[in-house]
Amino acid sequence: MRTLEGHAAAVWDVKFAFLADSDGTKRLAILSASADNTVKIWQLDGTLLSTLRGHSSEVLEIAVSDSGDVIASASADGTINLWKPDGTLLKVLKGHQSGIRGVTFIPNTQIVISASDDNTVRLWNPTNPFSKLLYGHSGIIWDVDFSQDGQMLASASSDGSFKVWAKDGTLLKSFAGYKAPVYSVAFVSPASFAKEDISPVLAFAGTDKTIKLWQFDGTLLKTITGHGASVWDVSVSPDGQFLASASDDKTVKLWKPDGTLLRTFTGHQARVYDVDFTPDGNRLVSGSADGTVRLWSLDGRLNKTLKGHRSGIWEVAVSPDGRTLASASMDDTIKLWTIDGTLLKTIKGNTRGMMAVDFSPNGQMLVAGGATGALKLWKIDGTEITTLTGHEGNVWGVAFSPDGKQIASAGDDRTLILWDVEGILKLDELAYACDRVRDYLRTNVEVKEEDRHLCDRVGDR
């Protein structure tokens, strides 16, 4: 009847499946897996809809969840890729030591079963009851920011877009089509503008050397120029009357929201990655690739240079009471300083580099993201609370919600994750672990008899 042509090598698997559109509508499609390392999705008339690229070796089998919203591809590269039907890569499942020849979903779940040449069968549960994964970006997500009321969240990406989400993860708005990577995004109070009934405003900055201010309805209010290189960060003063920006040109600049340049701060010897206002709005704190943190008065005076890191500083944060500074560095440490520059504590990240840090709204906790994809949650005295795993690759942005109930994180894997802080802090880890393995202990024939009852008295259901 029809020949579908497009693969560049042998086709190892083909399936009919109902795939869900973004609105939930399911349409019958054809999926094919090939030795050319790709999966292709076709209409029934033979029209190629999309090609899924991401494996480094041939794709041996494919499966689709019953809900039609997730595609799993198993590869000789030893990984399983999970995709949205539109081609967005959701997650890479790693663990097998050899090629994977079989993959399927347990009916009516998102749980994946795989069979490999390493002589093992694995069950994977990509979901986490304490986190929600948000997809939509096609590039690295560099920054996240909550709105002042905590009802919205914005993300900035190298795909040239920034997106606004509801706090429950619903995508509210996508500002796309920008021709350069977006490094930073921040909510600006509408009170910063002499206009009535103005919709929420967002500032974003990136590699085009500018800061752009957009209304939520998509109206471009202002393009601010003045930096001589990429702008890594833009921050808003607590009263919304000033913007600060950090740039590859080694400077920090202070602006009015109408684009008036008030002052340029010079002194860093390398690109400036981050800048924050102190809670009273009277000073700026900047972190640079030169390994220093600098404190500035808004009149341009350098108050203090903080030295101690052995590598570049990616992000700085100021505690809500304004008394403590935190700096995150590629030397794999978080340093805590008094506002006058005294080093209080050095916290080792054990993540091959720290790139993001934020204080909880009550000032009692820190969250930081690192190069391994893990988030670390600490008490302010440096005691580790827990490690949160979910990202693949560097974590570039973290933020507490204003009420402290959520953490947002983002990074290399093009994924935004919302973490349930309350649930995580209340978690009985032993009971949770036993809940996951209780059935395995009771039913697996290889478990020793004396081990079958390890969890019988732990958080029993």
Q: Given this model, what pLDDT does residue 25 score?
A: 87
Token representation of residue 268 = 């860093």
pLDDT band at 45 (very low <50, low <70, confident <90, very high): very high
On whether the pTM is more than 0.85, the answer is: no
**What tens digit of pLDDT does each residue of 336-348 get?**
999 999 999 999 9
Whether 448 has a pLDDT exceeding 90, the answer reads no
Between CA 48 and CA 193 the distance in angstroms is 48
Pair 207, 238: CB distance under 8 Å? no
Whether 196 has a pLDDT exceeding 70, the answer reads no
Please give the average per-residue pLDDT across 403-422, as a whole number: 94
**What tens digit of pLDDT does each residue of 165-187 get?**
999 999 999 987 677 899 999 99
Q: Given this model, what pLDDT does residue 152 score?
A: 95
- Give the residue carrying structure tokens 């083909």: 14
Whether 252 has a pLDDT exceeding 90, the answer reads yes
Please give the average per-residue pLDDT across 15-28, as a whole number: 88
Percentage with pLDDT > 90 across the chain: 73
**What tens digit of pLDDT does each residue of 301-344 get?**
999 999 999 999 999 999 999 999 999 999 999 999 999 999 99
Token representation of residue 339 = 């506002």
pLDDT band at 450 (very low <50, low <70, confident <90, very high): confident
Please give the average per-residue pLDDT across 362-378, as a whole number: 95
Token representation of residue 383 = 């005691």
Please give the average per-residue pLDDT across 387-392, as a whole number: 89
Contacts of 58 (CB under 8 A, 6+ apart): 9, 10, 12, 34, 35, 36, 37, 75, 76
Which of 213-222, 252-261, 265-274, 397-406 is predicted with the least confidence, judged by mean pLDDT?
213-222
Whether 194 has a pLDDT exceeding 60, the answer reads no
Q: Given this model, what pLDDT does residue 456 score?
A: 80
**What tens digit of pLDDT does each residue of 46-60 get?**
999 999 999 999 999
Whether 461 has a pLDDT exceeding 60, the answer reads no
What the chain holds in terms of domains, given with CATH numbers, is: 11-124 (2.130.10.10), 131-426 (2.130.10.10), 430-461 (no CATH)
Mean pLDDT, the chain, integer:
91
Please give the average per-residue pLDDT across 105-125, as a whole number: 91
